[in-house]
Amino acid sequence: MEAPPAAADEAARRRGVVAAVIGNTLEFYDFTTYAFFAVTIGQTFFPAGDAWVSLLASVATFGIGFVTRPIGGVVIGAYADRAGRKPAMMLTIALMAVGMLMLALTPGYATIGMAAPILVVIGRLIQGFALGGEVGPSTAYLIESAPPGKRGLYASWQIASQGLATLCAGTIGVVLSLGLSPEQMQAWGWRIPFLLGLLIIPVGIYIRRAMPETAGESTGHAEATAGAVLARLLREHGRTLALVVPILLCGTVSTYVGNYMTTYAITTLKLPASLSIAATAVVGACVLVFSVLAGRLADAYGRRRVMIVPRILLLLVAYPAFLLMTRDPGPATLLSMSALIAALGAMSGAASLVAIPELLPRSVRSAGLSVAYAFVVTVFGGTTQLVVTWLIGVTGDPLAPAWYVIATSLLGAAAMLATPETKEAALAA
């Protein structure tokens, strides 16, 4: 007996949401795995007499992956508004697979010399282009798939999938650090998480092929070039973008400070690698849980309240949290404070990614979010680890990450207060 049309539509919608979340998780898994193994990757591809210089080169290469994000945001975001969300997301996951393959299989500097860091940089540029174009289409897809009254919950899976990616990468990292010697980890162990991601990529592509489209019959405009998209966004939605940028900025810095905790724990707190990677796994688990909670709360109490309250709380706890970690470094303080920072940042960030698409009409929703997100993540996400590493090195102040979070959260909270409460009806426009 065939399922009723309504039930069939609901089942197709759920499969599409699962496909979007799985694909997003895979793409962020690879991008964040690099951050966990920044120290080891620096020694493999960027050997130097000074360990700090080697680490700086590694986190700078992590930042290079953000350079192409705005380009991917404009090009793929506009493509998603013109051709549909599904083909755009198929493209991003395929490109991410190429970048992952290059990073996983490139021999070290000792084997092929300067070709090694060059290939790694190219791979990171491809990944950045793909991820820059992923967030807009996938977020638009999630909110357009949601039934009435659940758009917050559905959209929250954009942030939750990033947390799931961090949790998976961190868990694998902990297992490897406990099961392998430092020499084995340096020689080949760090490549295993990337190879595991490659094995899962075909599954993600297969699932996304069956996604139903949500973009509607006509979403785009004749102007599909990057310049035309940017011009139209600035001309017609400049005020919205002016609010969106600082909101995304504070969330981005919080996220990448959280991803930096493994490196911070190893190089600044001098803690074992297994415990340090466990901190980032805890961050991932908290992002997964609390972003979904924030989505439910945003549906029940509105977007603005759930954006603002956790952000203000993060302002208040950032300094004491890092102070506790530096004065009493150990499992209890590292894991609990990392969890607290991640939970508050995830709640505010998840509510933000519900509100922002609701501020934009369907015709530029994917491109608008992609461009704003990619720009912010490029300028601030791509430099957060580099800036924090540099500040700690030149000032000797281990509390530098706290000050960075506080400064950007102040800016973001001000923008959130100026943002109007959004309505689900806006999504139909």
What are the distances in angstroms from CA 177 to CA 47, 186, 188, 274, 336? 21, 10, 12, 5, 21
pLDDT at 52: 63
How long is the chain? 429
Q: Which residue, 125, 118, 124, is CA-closest to 46?
A: 118
pLDDT at 53: 65
pLDDT at 222: 46
CB-neighbour burial class of residue 50 (10 A; exposed 0-12, middle 13-18, buried 19+): exposed
For the chain, percent of residues with pLDDT exceeding 90: 21
Give the CA angle between residues 39, 317, 250 to the nearest 5°. 65
Average pLDDT over residues 337-342: 93
Q: Which two tokens stand for residue 365?
A: 């929703």
Q: CA 140, CA 366: separation in Å to the nearest integer?
A: 6
Query: Which amino acid does the sequence have at 52?
Result: W
H-only helix segments in 37-150 = 38-45, 51-64, 69-83, 85-105, 109-112, 115-132, 135-145
- 206-257 pLDDT, tens digit each: 777 777 776 554 444 544 555 666 777 778 888 888 888 999 999 989 888 8
Q: What is the DSSP string of 16-43?
A: HHHHHHHHHHHHHHHHHHHHHTHHHHHH
Query: Which amino acid does the sequence have at 411?
Result: L
pLDDT at 358: 83
Q: Among 52-56, 160-164, 242-246, 338-342, which stretch is predicted with the lowest mean pLDDT?
A: 52-56
Backbone angles phi, psi at 298, to 5 degrees: -65, -35
**CB within 8 A of 409, min separation 6: which ones?**
250, 253, 254, 311, 314, 315, 318
pLDDT at 234: 78
pLDDT bracket for residue 313 (50, 70, 90): very high
- Tell me if 156 sits within 8 A of 145, measured CB to CB: no
Structural domains in the chain plus CATH codes:
10-210+232-418 (1.20.1250.20)
Q: Among 84-93, 240-249, 271-280, 357-366, which stretch is predicted with the lowest mean pLDDT?
A: 357-366
Which long-range contacts link 102-108 to residues 24+ away (Cβ below 8 Å)?
Answer: 102/126, 103/30, 103/34, 103/127, 103/194, 104/191, 104/194, 104/195, 104/197, 104/198, 105/191, 106/45, 108/44, 108/45
**CB within 8 A of 199, min separation 6: which ones?**
none
- 107-158 pLDDT, tens digit each: 988 888 888 888 888 888 898 898 888 888 888 888 888 888 888 899 899 8
pLDDT bracket for residue 423 (50, 70, 90): low
Average pLDDT over residues 2-27: 68
Average pLDDT over residues 19-36: 77
H-only helix segments in 260-381 = 261-267, 273-301, 303-327, 331-358, 362-376
Q: Which two tokens stand for residue 30?
A: 């690879």
- Tell me if 291 sits within 8 A of 184, measured CB to CB: no
pLDDT bracket for residue 317 (50, 70, 90): very high
H-only helix segments in 328-361 = 331-358
Q: Which residue, 427, 418, 424, 419, is CA-closest to 360?
A: 427
pLDDT at 2: 39
